[in-house]
């Protein structure tokens, strides 16, 4: 016998970044390109001057335009 919960459609997201944290996105991009190339593709100081995951995450969380650029690069690279 079917329950009401069995009849609910499974929700799927069309968002390629769904379930990915900013940290995972940044680590994959950094591992793939390295800081030097990331800094050339997205000119932000946290990628070009003494870069680290921690400082980059702080900046990207506070700066929507930069986060959008990083997310777009991730999609273009891995999707």
Task: Give the pLDDT confidence of 12-66 residue by residue, as tens digits.
Answer: 677 777 789 999 999 999 999 999 999 999 999 999 999 999 999 999 999 999 9
CA–CA separation, 9 and 46 (whole Å)? 43
The whole-number pLDDT of residue 8 equals: 57
Written as one string, the DSSP assignment of 50-73 is: S--HHHHHHHHHH-HHHHHHHHHH
* pTM of the shown model: 0.80
Q: How far is CA 22 from CA 6, 14, 33, 39, in A?
A: 33, 18, 16, 17
For domain 20-78, which architecture applies? Orthogonal Bundle (1.10)
Question: What would the mean pLDDT of 4-15 be, rounded to a whole number?
Answer: 63
Question: Has residue 77 got a pLDDT over 70?
Answer: yes
Residue 52 CB burial class (10 angstroms; 0-12, 13-18, ≥19): exposed
The whole-number pLDDT of residue 18 equals: 77
């Amino acid at each position: 016998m079917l329950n009401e919960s069995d009849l609910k459609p499974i929700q799927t997201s069309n968002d390629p970044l769904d379930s990915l944290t900013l940290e995972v996105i940044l680590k994959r991009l950094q591992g793939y390109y390295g800081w030097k190339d990331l800094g050339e593709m997205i000119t932000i100081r946290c990628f070009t001057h003494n870069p680290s995951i921690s400082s980059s995450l702080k900046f990207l969380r506070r700066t929507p335009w930069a986060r959008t650029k990083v997310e777009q690069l991730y999609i273009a690279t891995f999707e």
